Amino acid sequence: MSEVRFLVPGMTCGHCVNAVSTELSSVPGVETVEVDLETKTVVVIGARIDPNDLIAAVDEAGYEAVGLS
């Protein structure tokens, strides 16, 4: 399992959290998505996760992923 953390500074409400979570959950290999609206932090856990796929998923939701690690 691998864990990827990043910020999504554009999230401002529950709808934002749902949109980001839904898109990230559809990425192959993703098993768990944790989103904290207060800190605007996202943690994705899964197997063989491609960071480029995560960036694309957040972009598809209408937001920007920052500080992918």
- Scan for tokens 């691998």, then name that residue: 2
Residue type, 61: A
Show me where the domains of the chain are located: 2-60
Which residues touch 69 (CB under 8 Å, ≥6 apart)? 4, 5, 6
pLDDT in tens, 16-64: 999 999 999 999 999 999 999 999 999 999 999 999 999 999 999 999 9
pLDDT in tens, 42-55: 999 999 999 999 99
Q: What is the CATH number of domain 2-60?
A: 3.30.70.100
Instruction: Decide: pTM greater than 0.85.
Output: yes
33 contacts 21 by C-beta, under 8 angstroms: yes
